[in-house]
Amino acid sequence: MKKLKNVRTAALDGLLAIEKNQAYSHLLLHSLIEKNDIRPKDIGLLTELVYGTLQRKLTLDFYLSPFLKEKKKIEDWVRLLLWMSLYQMVYLDRVPDRAVLFEAVEIAKSRGHKGIASFVNGILRNIQREGLPSIEDIEDDFERISIQSSTPIWLVRRFAEQYGLETAEKICMSQLLPPNQTARVNLNKTNVHELINRLKIEGIEATAGELAPEAIKVLKGNVAKSESFQKGYMTIQDESSMLVAKALDIQENEHVLDSCAAPGGKSTHIAEMLSNTGKVVSLDLHEHKVKLIEGQAKRLGLPNIETKTLDSRHVANHFPVHSFDKILVDAPCTGFGVIRRKPEIKYTKTERDIKALSNIQKEILDAVAPLLKPGGILVYSTCTIDQEENSEVIKSFLAKHQEFTHDEKLVDRLPKKVKDYISFGQIQILPHYFGTDGFYISALRKKV
Ligand SMILES: C[S@@+](CC[C@H](N)C(=O)[O-])C[C@H]1O[C@@H](n2cnc3c(N)ncnc32)[C@H](O)[C@@H]1O
């Protein structure tokens, strides 16, 4: 029998699992809800507690630190309980402080003992009495932005070096906002207007998207559980991601290689654009992930996707030169553009990861380049905003591959709204531009 658990206890379990690197936030919620039999009316609070606390970890620690006068080390779960309680006191108006304190003390009692319960009670009461330290008083700009946006200071400095201080602050602050829930309409089966009406009948409120013409924005309800989703009328995808397939300028009957394809968001988009013609060859390093692509292709009714488990750096052993009209490298990256969806990224990724990933990105590009037909388009994309993984990778690729040039026509293929951000066949979308994920896309053309 499933155990019915208190929402806050379940949230604390989840936070602890993330802290110990035993879970990813975006996959965790679903299992927390299932395992603990969380009632539908409590799912919102559970989500808010896990994401809110995680998103604001450094801010909450700044608020808490002056009240932890004792030298003794406190256990991880106690610190997380204090952060989570503080999060509710500072950011959630609808939960009265006395309820927060009561629950915190109860959890401390049952997970620890009476002594810990009175420690937790004492700290939270002191904070109530004395008030929070002021972030505005922090003199150093990097440190202030770091605490205010809960972003590690090295990352604030890095964004400031790449984009300037003002933009770095906008990037970091915008990552605290809840992400939009958007989906891409499968135009082979329906259209935006029809799908919005279908969803309405299912009790889901949606409206047309803002960037991509085939996008819908979900305002209320869970599309992942809808019949329309099961029937393959849509794919859950961020609007900035939808621009990638457009950058490839897909034409019917083409052969397209998607070198890093799982879970298949872009492969399925390309296959939809091919309208049952041509072929998408979708590769991924991991077999279990390749299965996800196959599942999506089946759900969406797309017979023109062929999958293969393969390290894309070894494509030369499997495909002849000049065998594809278009190639997509949607590369593995740090994911600094999707911190809203996966807040742990900002605390766990390091400068070493950036370096290691940029090497892999370059290796994949080098390996796939010979497979493209002359005149064909190679699109490189990432969901990060770090220039070392984006424009720098393309710069080094072009220096090595004189047979490629920037595809200046990219501007004609992307929606009007993003045109001002395109130059030299590249676009870097920052999360605060349109409220989407941060995304980088570069289109390159092989000379004839
Ligand atoms: C950004 S994700 C791709 C997302 C996918 N294009 C989509 O739209 O759903 C990067 C993918 O690259 C895969 N990957 C990492 N290194 C790889 C390699 N050397 N060869 C092939 N795939 C790789 C990862 O397993 C991951 O699924």
Is 36's pLDDT higher than 90? no
Residue 281 and residue 419 in one domain: yes
Q: What is the pLDDT of residue 226?
A: 96
ipTM (interface pTM): 0.99
Range of the domain at 431: 242-446
Of 236, 259, 275, which residue sits at a domain end?
A: 236
Mean pLDDT of 226-243: 98
**CATH code for the domain in which residue 342 is found:** 3.40.50.150
Residue 42 and residue 149 in one domain: no
Is 135 part of a structural domain of the chain? no
**Is any atom of ligand 1 closer than 6 Å to the C-beta of 314?**
no
Of 197, 221, 236, which residue sits at a domain end?
A: 236
**Is any atom of ligand 1 closer than 6 Å to the C-beta of 264?**
yes
From the alpha carbon of 266, which atom of ligand 1 is closest?
8
The residue nearest atom 2 of ligand 1, judged by CA position, is 332
Percent of the chain's residues with pLDDT above 90: 89
For the ranges 86-95, 187-196, 431-440, the lowest mean pLDDT is seen at 86-95
Residue 267 and residue 402 in one domain: yes
Residue 215 and residue 251 in one domain: no
In which band, very low, low, confident or very high, does the pLDDT at 72 lie, cut at 50, 70 and 90?
low
Per-residue pLDDT tens over the stretch 316-337: 999 999 999 999 999 999 999 9
**CATH code for the domain in which residue 227 is found:** 3.30.70.1170
In which band, very low, low, confident or very high, does the pLDDT at 28 lie, cut at 50, 70 and 90?
confident
Is 4's pLDDT higher than 70? no
Residue 277 and residue 389 in one domain: yes
**Is any atom of ligand 1 closer than 6 Å to the C-beta of 238?**
no
Residue 425 and residue 383 in one domain: yes
Can you give the three-state secondary structure of the chain, one letter per residue? CCCCCCHHHHHHHHHHHHHCCCCCHHHHHHHHHHHHCCCHHHHHHHHHHHHHHHHCHHHHHHHHHHHCCCCCCCCHHHHHHHHHHHHHHHHCCCCCHHHHHHHHHHHHHHHCCHHHHHHHHHHHHHHHHHCCCCCCCCCCHHHHHHHHHCCCHHHHHHHHHHHCHHHHHHHHHHCCCCCCEEEEECCCCCCHHHHHHHHHHCCCEEEECCCCCCEEEEEECCHHHCHHHHCCCEEECCCCCHHHHHHCCCCCCCEEEECCCCCCHHHHHHHHHCCCCCEEEEEECCHHHHHHHHHHHHHHCCCCEEEEECCHHHHHHCCCCCCEEEEEEECCCCCHHHCCCCCCHHHHCCHHHHHHHHHHHHHHHHHHHHHEEEEEEEEEEECCCCHHHCHHHHHHHHHHCCCEEECCCHHHHCCHHHHHHEECCEEEECHHHHCCCCEEEEEEEECC
Is 236's pLDDT higher than 80? yes
Number of domains in the chain: 4
Q: What is the pLDDT of residue 5?
A: 66
Is 113 part of a structural domain of the chain? yes
Is 110 part of a structural domain of the chain? yes
Query: Would the annotation count 264 as a binding residue?
Result: yes
Per-residue pLDDT tens over the stretch 356-414: 999 999 999 999 999 999 999 999 999 999 999 999 999 999 999 999 999 999 999 99
Q: What is the pLDDT of residue 20?
A: 86
In which band, very low, low, confident or very high, does the pLDDT at 203 lie, cut at 50, 70 and 90?
very high
Distance 129 CA to ligand 1 centre (A): 50
In which band, very low, low, confident or very high, does the pLDDT at 92 lie, cut at 50, 70 and 90?
very high
Is 416 part of a structural domain of the chain? yes
Residue 331 and residue 400 in one domain: yes
Query: Would the annotation count 247 as a binding residue?
Result: no
Is 31 part of a structural domain of the chain? yes
Percent of the chain's residues with pLDDT above 70: 98
Residue 276 and residue 396 in one domain: yes
Residue 438 and residue 351 in one domain: yes
Distance 408 CA to ligand 1 centre (A): 26
Is 392 part of a structural domain of the chain? yes
In which band, very low, low, confident or very high, does the pLDDT at 93 lie, cut at 50, 70 and 90?
confident
**Catalytic residue (one of 383, 393, 418, 443):** 383
In which band, very low, low, confident or very high, does the pLDDT at 94 lie, cut at 50, 70 and 90?
confident
**Is any atom of ligand 1 closer than 6 Å to the C-beta of 313?**
yes
Distance 356 CA to ligand 1 centre (A): 15
Is 172 marked active-site? no
**Is any atom of ligand 1 closer than 6 Å to the C-beta of 417?**
no
In which band, very low, low, confident or very high, does the pLDDT at 41 lie, cut at 50, 70 and 90?
confident
Q: What is the pLDDT of residue 70?
A: 64
Residue 258 and residue 377 in one domain: yes
Is 285 part of a structural domain of the chain? yes
Is 22's pLDDT higher than 90? no
**CATH code for the domain in which residue 61 is found:** 1.10.940.10
Per-residue pLDDT tens over the stretch 151-166: 999 999 999 999 999 9
Per-residue pLDDT tens over the stretch 407-440: 999 999 999 999 999 999 999 999 999 999 999 9
Residue 154 and residue 186 in one domain: no
The residue nearest atom 6 of ligand 1, judged by CA position, is 261
Distance 343 CA to ligand 1 centre (A): 20
Is 136 part of a structural domain of the chain? no
For the ranges 5-14, 109-118, 178-187, the lowest mean pLDDT is seen at 5-14
pTM of the model: 0.95
Residue 303 and residue 408 in one domain: yes
